[in-house]
Amino acid sequence: MKKINAIFLALISLAFISCASDEVEIPVEASSLEIIQQAQNAVEKGKKKKAIKCYEILLQRYGNNPAIYVEGRYEIAHIYVKQKDYKKAEPILLELKEIYDSSAPGMLPGAYRKMSAKDLGKVQDKIGKKE
């Protein structure tokens, strides 16, 4: 009986430890807005890797929606910009530029066009390039 109690206690402890880690567990039924909120909460707590994982899950589940795809990709790139990881941010921002340049006006959220262009300019200034 003592062994069973010890094992049970160990399992409960492990459950609490895994909840405190950066692992991402998003219910299958979570909406795109719920996933975005979880990612934003992670960013606010300084858990950038967790936020990126949330946005990657968002893209896997809802990336066929162009507006959500643009938002998720921008948010990932923006995290990289904030981390000064310009080599990871630049290809994503260039992809977003291409998407916006080839889409009809009003088809995608305009705010992400403006923000991604601003981040792309900053990135290219930092790495010594101009598009």
pLDDT digits (tens, 9 = 90+) for 75-94: 999 999 999 999 999 999 99
pLDDT at 20 over 80: no
Per-residue burial over 62-86, b if 16 or more Cβ lie within 10 Å, else e, is bbeeeebbbbbbbbbbbbbbeeeeb
Q: How many residues does the chain have?
A: 131
Residue among 30, 82, 100, 90 at smallest CA distance from 60: 30
The confidence band for 18, taking pLDDT boundaries of 50, 70 and 90, is: very low
Per-residue burial over 44-57, b if 16 or more Cβ lie within 10 Å, else e, is eeebbebbbbbbbb
Residues 6+ apart with CB under 8 A from 32: 58, 61, 62, 65, 68
Q: What is the pLDDT of residue 8?
A: 40
Give the H or E element holding residue 47: none
Q: Tell me which of 22 and 126 has the higher pLDDT.
A: 126
Q: Which amino acid is at 54?
A: C
Give the Cα separation of 34 and 55 in Å (integer). 11
Q: What is the pLDDT of residue 22?
A: 58
Q: What is the mean pLDDT of the chain?
A: 86
